[in-house]
Amino acid sequence: MRKLLTKVTLLLVGFSGVVVAQQDPQFTQFMNNKLMYNAGYAGNSGNICGVLHFRQQWTSFPGAPQSFALTADMRLPETPLGVGLNVMMDKIGPIQTLFLRIPVAYNMNLMGGTLGFGLDLGMLQKQVSETWIPPDVGSIDNSIPGSYGDGTNVYGTNVDLNKTTYDVGFGAFYSIPRKIYVGISSTHLPAQLLKTADDSVKYKVTRHYYIQAGYHLALDPRNEIIPNIMVRSDVNATVIDANVTYMWDQKVIAGITYRHTDAVAPMIGYQHFTPKGMSIKGVYSYDYTLSKIKGYSGGTHEITVGVCYPLTKKKMASYGDERFLN
């Protein structure tokens, strides 16, 4: 099983020693952390909000992918500017990536909603550990960078890649509270090439493109259905996630996400409101793998916890945008 994970990881490295696959962390609950993908979302709600996101993928594999994200944003008082913080860490086998970005967005009122244009400015750190397990003990593949002796060693030695560079992203996001949202964005606009001093290992930071949208369908004052969709691409590969979420009384959440040819993920959660208007929300989802790896993966667990606090007092008769993740 550990050999299988190593083979999957080496597919990311490729025969030329250049990492070329989709690089941004993958989250099933994409609708619960919009700032992670789109800088234009910063300050969209007009309140102070934060989201903590954790994903453990393929639980049966040692060294399986783990992703962590922490985002926060707020609207600067008496201004149209939204600012935020976006921290993500992604690890699969010997490859680890750290993203740290500061989104800044300009928000304007448009047709009963809010339209935001934002920039993500920050850094990206890529690490490829020098130690990994050869996929086939006793064999040597000269197209894989690094060395592992005569192929009989349990561990091999690869050239250690540890590079940090700047990162820039752009996004536009429009929403009408409890009606509709749509966003388009791109990350890693500079698309740099990171490499070791001897050029034996290279990492190409590819641009990623995102389209996300959702619609709130009110069945009655207490029951609501929200279809959501996310399209993400690095041009070489495109992934589509489709989600349907049911909410009862803006408190109880149940839903399901389908990722084409990859996984289906039911989810359940609850949202609590304090007398002062603060919302606290927790959602759990489980990915059941549909691809050929399903006999080995052990499934994927994902948890989202979010808090949102209103900066201004809302009238009780109107909808308060401080209700988290709308």
Residue 285 pLDDT exceeds 60? yes
Q: What is the mean pLDDT of residues 198-217?
A: 88
DSSP 8-state code for residue 13: H
Residues in the chain: 326
- Per cent of the chain over pLDDT 70 is 78
Residue 158 pLDDT exceeds 60? no
| Domain chopping of the chain, boundaries | 2-309
Quick count: other Cβ atoms within 10 Å of Cβ 82?
27
At 140, the pLDDT band (50, 70, 90 cuts) reads low
Query: In whole numbers, what is the pLDDT of the chain averaged over residues?
Result: 83
With 0-12 / 13-18 / 19 or more C-beta atoms within 10 angstroms meaning exposed / middle / buried, residue 262 is: middle
144, 168, 170: which is closest to 156 by C-alpha?
144
Q: What is the mean pLDDT of residues 139-146?
A: 54
User: 17-41 pLDDT, tens per residue?
Assistant: 444 445 788 899 999 999 999 999 9
113, 118, 110, 45: which is closest to 311 by C-alpha?
45
Instruction: Compute CA distances 316 → 152, 292, 302, 313, 324, whole Å.
Output: 70, 51, 34, 9, 16
For residues 97 and 210, give the distance between their C-alpha atoms in angstroms, rounded to a whole number.
19
241, 249, 271, 234: which is closest to 29 by C-alpha?
241
Asked if 292 contacts 28 with a C-beta cutoff of 8 angstroms, the reply is no
Quick count: other Cβ atoms within 10 Å of Cβ 270?
12
Instruction: Tell me what pLDDT residue 130 has.
Output: 64
Q: Specify the range with the lowest mean pLDDT, choosing from 49-53, 103-107, 160-164, 227-231.
A: 160-164
DSSP 8-state code for residue 8: H
Q: Which two tokens stand for residue 116?
A: 């935001």
User: Which carries the bigger pLDDT value, residue 94 or residue 209?
Assistant: 209
User: 63-107 pLDDT, tens per residue?
Assistant: 788 999 999 999 999 999 999 999 999 998 778 899 999 999 999
Helix (H) or strand (E) holding 2: helix 2-13
Instruction: Tell me what pLDDT residue 215 has.
Output: 97
DSSP string spanning 67-94? EEEEEEEEEPTTSSEEEEEEEEEEEETT
Handedness of CA 176, 177, 179, 180 (dihedral sign): positive
- Could you identify the residue written with the tokens 């990623």? 208
Residue 14 pLDDT exceeds 70? no
In CATH, the number for domain 2-309 is 2.40.160.60
